[in-house]
Structure 1
Amino acid sequence: MKNIFKTTPDNCKTVILLYLFFLLSSAQQSYAQRITRQYNNVSFSEALKDINARQHKYTINFVYDELEDFKVTKSIRNQNVPNAIMQLIGFYPIRMTQVENNIMVECTHKTTYRYKGRIVDERGNAAEYATIALLSPIDSAIVGHGVSNENGYFVIPCNSRKVLARISYIGYKTVCRIYNNTEMGIIKLHPQTMIVKGVVVKGDRPQYKMLPGGMEVAIEHTLLSKMANTFEVLNLLPRVSVNGQSISIFGKGAPIVYINNKRV
């Protein structure tokens, strides 16, 4: 049987060059799918449109008006499209569903009203990861829950026309106010200061870091490190509720807990 392809030095060079071109093209396409962007107080819908325009692998589906109220301030560095979207979601009540290369993004709380505002500290700086609970003025039942983003902004879907808002932030006084307007405006916090025998004690807020699928909290050298036990620490974290020894994540249910990589 004769060889259909006869190997020569020139043919070898051609094959090698074609192979290298294929590898280079694949690497460029793969790199093109990585997202590096800085979003400053833009609507979630605009951010999704921007990500969708910067890649060709995924088709991002969403309803523009449904996500327009949610503002995002986020720095994304060399992330694939699903991870970039998850970083934008943060603690918002937004769900991402992926089926192969199709991505669906939607708000999980279909409500009549959306309470919106911005939380700042005593210097006017954004208070990131402040916890906002909306309570019924009648019986104090929780009717909505949210967490402020990097710009201090928050959006909380809610069906109640009048709410009691409780804003808490480590190291600052808890704020409780009645609202019958969904535009809550700028809420300024004041430091929690305690004087003990002439000694002034001030609390520092813990350092939060968003990770894929969760959040990392550094409690060393913060007020959280002074808590009596783990349950008290968890009860002060955003969207975490503790009742006795029962732990729940708002909108997610009971979590699976690992200590030193061991499930407990």
Structure 2
Amino acid sequence: MPNSMKYIGEKLKSLKLEIAEEIAGMYKEKYNIEYTKLSKEKMNGHIAELVTMFAEGFIEGGSAARLQEVHNWGREFGKEASGLELSPERAILVVPILRKVVYKYIREEFAEGSHTFDQYYEVADTINPLIDKAIYSFTQSYVERNERKIQEAKDEILNLSVPVVPLTKEVAILPIIGHIDSKRSQELLNQALLKGQELKLSALILDLSGVHLIDTYVAQNLFQLNDALQLIGVQVIFSGLRPELAQTLVNLGISFDHMTVVNSLPQALKKTGLSVNADR
């Protein structure tokens, strides 16, 4: 029995390039995959590498070390597929095709009648865990990398949602538009403090005309922002608070008495010694 397993493994290993070519061809034909982002040569190389691991599983046994090799293969292929923006559903379809083609070669070998059913089941028990590991590791790697990319995009968008715009060497404006949640509130504080020090600001105007909802949580964060900036020597001027929001804050018992609040952006500019030329 061990000799039969070794023989099948050696045969698969010797045919790895032919098997890889057949699998890649079926993959392209069945799912209409064009090798624009992942070259045919590279795809064939990935497949041949996995076939070799399967073959060595027959030769040396499906040990933990072999499973680790297949795991590493799945991780690398998943990482590459994600980087090339191949969808996981389409990229991983190569593995079921690989299973089908490899089993075809195994069945051809067993059809000659020189092996027993017990040996066939031993072959299945060896190769199936390796194939399952390849699929699992690929999917895990792809999802993890995609989640990182999505989070990086979210962080970038969040950073863009807190634009500190210099008006002069010492004065800048931070227009706040839309809803302020906990993450954006923290980013607001971080960016305001960072830019306040980086630009050596003496005053920062926070324009709230684009904010449609302020509750006790948001107000508390604005208080913290005001206090933190004042501690580093930056005067904070709030402008553009909508009348309906002001009424809501009064009803909630929230007071802005210790903060500099003006009705409009021109008034805020005037507070800093700047003005808006109405003729322009």
TM-score, reference length from structure 1: 0.28
Q: Which has the higher contact order (CA 8 A, sep 6+)?
A: 2
State which structure, 1 or 2, has the greater radius of gyration over its C-alpha atoms.
Answer: 2
Higher helix share: 2
Higher strand share: 1
